Amino acid sequence: MSKVHNFSAGPCILPKEVFEKSAESILNFNDSGLSLIEISHRSKDFIEVMEEARKLVREILNVPDNYEVLFLQGGASLGFLTAAYNLMGKKKTGGYLITGSWAKKAAKEASFMGNSFNVASSEDKNFNYIPKGYNLGDNIDYFHVTSNNTIFGTQIKKFYNGNIPLACDMSSDIFSREINIKDFDLIYAGAQKNMGPAGTTLYICKKDILGNSSVPIPTMLDLKVHADKDSMFNTPPVFAIYSSMLNLRWLKNIGGLSYIENQNNLKSKLIYDHIDNNSLFEGTANIEDRSSMNVTFSLLEQDLNETFEKMLKDASINGLKGHRSVGGFRASIYNAMPIESVSILVDIMRELENKKG
């Protein structure tokens, strides 16, 4: 099989060794003669996987002891609702930074048991920037942000660190850069953007938010229930957790967040510098808010699209089409994307310019 360069926004590229070992586990897990997906989640072998996965999250992200690490289900889309249920206080209002479609969806869920208040929004410019200098007011119980806007290619570089509890949907840039966990009260992330296969959702939450909601919480959405049962209240998605664990092992072995952040900066700089220098392309996101995970750009002359798309196809570049709400192109360059693949993409963009000139 020839190499395909997978720039897909999610589910995402993972290291080859993670795919190989995950595949092996389906047929014969840990030389047990049994498949990972047929053993009890309460068996010693699987409990070890769950414990290692949680330990790796703690080590890699430097999670303090007063935080829980949970592997649950439902995707980030259920995280929107879970966050609101668990953080609702006496004001019955969550404040939302509206930086894209996912942020809007998150805000909508707060209305099931309270209100949402839009602290600021960048919808006026089709979400091509991160609002700054907003005022949170004093009528919200928590402040919710989306660290990286997967569709629009913007990323928060500096997080709020005031007194209001901070919740963050970190689905598309968790484990891509160093963050200070203490800035957050609740982080959640669907696995399939930068951590593993779809099917599990990581939650990292401060222990003192648990059991303090002002609204009754349905059992499966109550983070305290899951924390008390070490993420085993019900059957966990064993395969997704196992693959995520392998990927976290890989990340730790290559040097953790400081190493990967540097790599991600090199990769994104390579492509952004090229976009800024190539007369045929323009970036769609505000320069200072550009994402290091999802690079959005478009061709200035629409009639070149077909030629460019053909060149991408010939070079086995997959998943570069932009989201329909932005158009153009989106290069998702998650942790496992090698810099060599980014170079190949840049070479093609250069070749198009040379052809044209």
Which residues from 279-298 bind ligand PLP, rule CB under 6 A?
A: none
- In three-state secondary structure terms, 302 is helix
Phi and psi based region of residue 316 (left: phi greater than 0; alpha: psi -120 to 50; beta: remaining): left
Which residues from 3-42 bind ligand PLP, rule CB under 6 A?
A: 10
Find out whether 342 and 270 touch, Cβ atoms under 8 Å. Answer: yes
Which residues from 161-180 bind ligand PLP, rule CB under 6 A?
A: 169, 171-172
Listed ranges 43-51, 73-81, 123-131, 341-349: which one lies at the site for ligand PLP (CB under 6 A): 73-81
Does the annotation mark 193 as catalytic? yes
C-alpha pair distances (Å), 93 with each of 86, 87, 247, 345: 12, 9, 37, 45
Does the annotation mark 169 as catalytic? yes
Least distance (Å) from ligand PLP to the CB of residue 192? 6
Catalytically annotated residue among 104, 141, 185, 193: 193
Q: Which of 5, 144, 193, 226 binds ligand PLP (CB under 6 A)?
A: 193
x/- letters, 95..114, toward ligand PLP (CB under 6 A): -------x------------
Q: Who contacts 38 (Cβ-Cβ below 8 Å, separation ≥6)?
A: none
Query: One-letter amino acid identity for 198?
Result: A
How many residues touch ligand PLP under the rule CB under 6 A: the total is 12
Catalytically annotated residue among 104, 141, 169, 250: 169
C-alpha pair distances (Å), 334 with each of 147, 210, 271, 356: 14, 32, 14, 31
Query: How do 142-146 and 93-98 pair as beta strands?
Result: parallel
Residue 146 contacts ligand PLP per CB under 6 A: yes
Q: Which of 89, 114, 190, 196 binds ligand PLP (CB under 6 A)?
A: 190
Angle at 207 between CA 206 and CA 208, to 5 degrees: 95
Residues marked as catalytic: 102, 169, 193
Give me the residues that bind ligand PLP (CB under 6 A), please. Answer: 10, 75-77, 102, 146, 150, 169, 171-172, 190, 193
